[in-house]
Structures are given as structure tokens and as C-alpha cells.
Structure 1
Amino acid sequence: MPKPIAQDAQGQVQAWIILQRDLEKAPNTVAAYARGITDFTSFCRERGIDPLDVSKSTIAAYLGDLRARPPGGGREGRADDESSPSTSPSNASLRHRLTIVRLFYDHLVEEGLRTTNPVPRGRRGVARHRGERGLVPVHRPLPWIPSEAQWRAVLDAARTDPVRNRLMLALAYDCALRREELCALEASDIDPAHRLVTIRAETTKTKVGRVVPYSAVTGDLLAAYLRERRALGRARGRLFLSTSPRNRGRPIGKWTWSKVVRALGHRADAPRLGTHTMRHLCLTDLARVGWDIHEIAQFAGHRSVQSTLLYIHLSARDLSAKFAATAAELHKARLAVIAGVAR
């Protein structure tokens, strides 16, 4: 029978969760931290381990327990059948769970209840050669970028959408907006006279504000939407308002926009379309037309060009055309001998 969690450990868990709330973390973040650390302490209780006195081996065992579960599965949903590796959760999910545990033990170290953190941090550069690696490797798959035909299908499917949704799609692409940035736009952030959008620092992931332009097409959609918006409410506030009978005139949330994009992708036969696709496509298009990487980083609101490089995904056709125009003859000359071609 599982041993109860020591009272001291349970108190520290509750204190840490309260601390996250008092630090004004987003409610969803606090809830995720609470679920994650509660799951870990349940794992410890099943094995009779005091959560205040775990070792790296306990963390490794917990990681194995997580891998044995189906995606999204709780402790009651573990999959013990090793013949079904395809049901394992993603590396991103595993890293998220371990990050929660690591933050909890950072707190314990700061409080003087432990001297070390049992969850190893992944390090870059020289430190990685010293064996200082994270328990779960980072996988960075290429972002999905729609082809010209796929993007045209998305636009064709959007033609019948309300003008608000079409404007949001256009702004998301024109300005490379994150979902949160788009939904947080206020009417006062728009400068129609100069076709500029101000993305306020407090609405961004990196807390870096920026001002970016939008196209004439988007300007026409904006003018049409503002006429509709005046019927929903005269207050400046949020730009995008709900038209549903239940929430009429209230700002729409990021999940509403996610549902709109998901439905649009379904109608366009582009199931991989997401709210971030327009941002990826915009930054890639800027690279296609010759923008400097630093200019693209500033446009995107990235602190580092390394982040920008992860977003830019030139298609095989783009790279093939550039290769043919700039490097094909050089490569041919260097490899001529092994092909039996006389130099």
C-alpha cells in the first residue's frame, strides 16, 4: 500500500504552488504546475520515497514512468505494453513535466531544504562535452509551411468567412503575429493613416514591443471590419469582438481563434494549418525576397537571430533554385573527377 507523503513535503508542494500564484503567473500555468508536481509526488508516494529526498535515479525512474503512458495519460492511464512504443508522449511533453519538477527543486534549494537539484539541466557548448546534458533531448522539427497551392486553398476557403476572421488571418500573416499578440490587439494599436500596427511589449512572448506595417488589402479589410465593430460596441478596447449571442461585444480569446483556424484548415484540406502557420510563412517569405536575418528578427520581435533561424523554412524548391543560380557550377567542378568527367 502506498505510503502517505510526508507532511513537510506536502506543505512544501502547497507552498510552491501558492508562490507561483503570488508571482502572478498565468492561471493556466499555475494549474499546469500544480498538476505536474502533484503527479510527481504521487509517483514518489507509490514507491515510498520522500519527495524532499529524491535522487537523480528517482527522476530517471519517473521519466520511464512518463514514457510508459499514452499521450495525455495520467498516472492511472499508464501503458505497460512495451510493444506499443508509438503511444509514448512526445519529447516536448516529457521536457515540460521535468521542467515543472526542476523548478520545484530549485525552490527547495533556495529555501535551504536541499543542497542540489536532482533534475539535471541541459547545457550548451563545452558543458555538453562534460556530460552536463538534460535527460530528454531537444527535437526541433521543421515548421510546416504551406505550398502556394495549399495557401491559395486556405485563402479560397476563407473568402466566405466573416470579415473579422479574414482580417485576423490577414494581420497574422502581414505582421507575423503570434496568437496571443493578435487577440490582444486594441483599436488604439492600429494606425490606419500609415498602415502600421503597434505590438505592445506586455502582449509579447519576449516582452519586446515593435511596430510593423500591413498591406493595402489588409487595410481594406480593416475598414470593413471597423464598420461592423461599431455595431458591437463603441469602446476602444480590444479590436476583435465576439458576435455570438452569448458573448456579443466581448473580446474574443485565443482559443476562439484557434477554433477558427482549425475549421479553416479542415475546409481547405490543410489539416496542419495552425495559428502559428501565418507567422512562419511571413518570415519565410521575407527571407525569400532577400531580407537580412537581422531585419527579419526585428520584424518578428525576436531577441536573438538564432530564434529567427528556427522560424525560417525555405522549401526544397526555393533552395534548389538558389543552388542552381549560385553554387551548381562550383559543386560540379569539385565533384567532376568521381563522376568520370574529364576536367
Structure 2
Amino acid sequence: MDKKRIRLPQIKRQKDLPLVLNKKEVRELLKAPKYLKHRLILAMLYGCGLRSYELCNLLQADIDFDRKTVFVKKQKGKVDRYLPLSPHLARGLKTYFRTENPVKYVFNSQVTKDGEAGPLTTRGIQWVIKECRSKVNTQKKFTAHTLRHSYATHLLEDGMNIMSLKELLGHAHIETTIVYLQVSNMGSSMKFSPLDTLFTP
């Protein structure tokens, strides 16, 4: 008896899709902090799609108000990139720099070593998020990185093409960016339920 072996294709493990806040939830989150510094921390994470460690290492010299850009230096094998600076962020940052006088970095840590101002820490960002969670009308358990996911998804939904988004996010491979096509609700890929058309003539 000739036994034929059947080889099934290997199934790649499905990656979890990212959690995304809707625009109403983002607006509530950005209004939640009492202090301008904390509002700007959240606004930079969402408005520039920054990773937490990128925000911590951001220097004041990296902000160009005339060119309306934010320069993100390459780290962890990533690439240098320029990000657009929203006029809303520019106004807030100018006020913050004028009133708070941060040293060297865009955001300084509250804890300093030997009296020297150090950069904001990822733990400091986590604290801001934790303080604001209860002020947002949502059941979603969001983190700082959720704001980066929301940035990417909202840009796609607003009409940005996938290659431009890849550059803004600083992804080395397009496959990493494509996951946001599965999350976004836009254009020809807009998803809907058959119930939406069931009762229409």
C-alpha cells in the first residue's frame, strides 16, 4: 500500500491587532490633564505618533517651529525621520518653553540627579496615562503606545497612503505598517455589517 504524505501549509501565527482609541476618546484624553506639560506629553505621543522612548529623548533642538518639523534621531536600529509639527502643538510648546524653561530636553524628569535636569522617563509617561484614564469615557485599557496606534489608524482613515505612513512611523518593513489597514475603516476597505443593508429597499 502506497502511503502518500500530505503536507499542509504552515499557518503563520496571527498577531494581535492593536487597540485604537476613536477621535472622541482622544479629545477627552487630551483635555484630561490639569497641567500643560502633561497635556503636551499626550499630544506629542498622539500628534506625532512617537514611541515613549523617542519622546523621552527628544531635544528642544529637534523642534523646528519655522519648518514645522520634529526631528527624531535613529535609535535601536531605526532610521532618522522628520515628522510634521501641528500648529496646535507648536502653540502649546512655545507657551510651555516660555513658562516652564525646560533644560535641553523637551520634557524634563521631575527627579534630577545631582541637581541636573534629566529627560522625562517612560515611567513618568505611564504615570500621566494612569492619572488620565479615569477621565476618559471608555472601557478600553489603553497605554501610551495606544496613542501611536491611534495616530497611524486615524491618518489612514483621513486619507494618507500606506507608504507615507510607513515613513512617519519609522518602520523598516511595510509588513509592520500594513496591520493598520486591518484596523482602519476607510475607502474601498471600509467594513460594514450585512444588517446595514438588510432592511433598505
Query: TM-score, normalised to structure 1's length?
Result: 0.48
Instruction: Determine if the alignment matches structure 1 residue 170 to structure 2 residue 43.
Output: yes
Instruction: Determine if the alignment matches structure 1 residue 211 to structure 2 residue 82.
Output: yes
Secondary structure at the aligned position of 1:296 is classed as: helix
- The CA deviation at 1:269 is 4.3
Q: Which residue of 2 aligns with 1:288?
A: 157
Q: Distance in 1 between matches of 2:134 and 2:175?
A: 32
Q: Which residue of 2 aligns with 1:200?
A: 73
Equivalent runs, 1:153-164 vs 2, <5 Å: 153-158=28-33, 160=34, 162-164=35-37
- Amino acid aligned to 2:80: G
Aligned equivalent of 1:250, options 118, 121, 132: 118
- Amino acid aligned to 1:249: A
The gaps in structure 1 that reach 5 residues or longer are: 1-127, 333-343
Spell out, residue by residue over 1:277-306, the C-alpha distance to the aligned partner (whole angstroms, 9 max, x if none). 111111111111222111110111111111
Q: Is the 8 A contact 2:112 2:118 kept in 1?
A: no
Q: Is the 8 A contact 2:72 2:81 kept in 1?
A: yes
Q: Which residue of 2 aligns with 1:45?
A: none
- Amino acid aligned to 1:174: G
- The CA deviation at 1:323 is 5.7
Q: Distance in 2 between matches of 1:199 and 1:206?
A: 13
- The CA deviation at 1:188 is 1.1
- The CA deviation at 1:216 is 0.6
Aligned equivalent of 2:92, options 211, 221, 224: 221
The gaps in structure 2 that reach 5 residues or longer are: 1-7
Instruction: Determine if the alignment matches structure 1 residue 274 to structure 2 residue 143.
Output: yes
Q: Which residue of 1 aligns with 2:52?
A: 179
Aligned equivalent of 2:18, options 110, 132, 143: 143
Q: Distance in 2 between matches of 1:187 and 1:147?
A: 30
**Which protein has the larger Cα radius of gyration, Structure 1 or Structure 2?**
1
Q: How many residues align?
A: 185
- The CA deviation at 1:250 is 2.7
Q: Distance in 1 between matches of 2:51 and 2:83?
A: 13
- Amino acid aligned to 1:212: L
Q: Distance in 2 between matches of 1:228 and 1:244?
A: 19
Cα distance 1:322–1:138, how it changes in 2: closer, same or farther (>3 A)?
closer
Cα distance 1:220–1:295, how it changes in 2: closer, same or farther (>3 A)?
same
- The CA deviation at 1:319 is 7.1
Cα distance 1:179–1:245, how it changes in 2: closer, same or farther (>3 A)?
closer
Spell out, residue by residue over 1:91-114, the C-alpha distance to the aligned partner (whole angstroms, 9 max, x if none). xxxxxxxxxxxxxxxxxxxxxxxx
Query: TM-score, normalised to structure 2's length?
Result: 0.78
Identity of aligned residues (%): 26
Q: Distance in 2 between matches of 1:244 and 1:152?
A: 29
Cα distance 1:186–1:245, how it changes in 2: closer, same or farther (>3 A)?
closer
Q: Is the 8 A contact 2:56 2:107 kept in 1?
A: yes
- The CA deviation at 1:208 is 1.0
Q: Distance in 1 between matches of 2:89 and 2:66?
A: 13
Aligned equivalent of 1:191, options 47, 61, 64: 64
- Amino acid aligned to 1:199: V
Spell out, residue by residue over 1:149-183, the C-alpha distance to the aligned partner (whole angstroms, 9 max, x if none). 3223213313x2x2111112111112111111111
Cα distance 1:219–1:184, how it changes in 2: closer, same or farther (>3 A)?
same
Q: Distance in 1 between matches of 2:162 and 2:172?
A: 12
Equivalent runs, 1:14-163 vs 2, <5 Å: 129=9, 138-158=13-33, 160=34, 162-163=35-36
- Amino acid aligned to 2:27: R
Bigger relative contact order, structure 1 or 2, given CA contacts below 8 A and separation 6+?
2
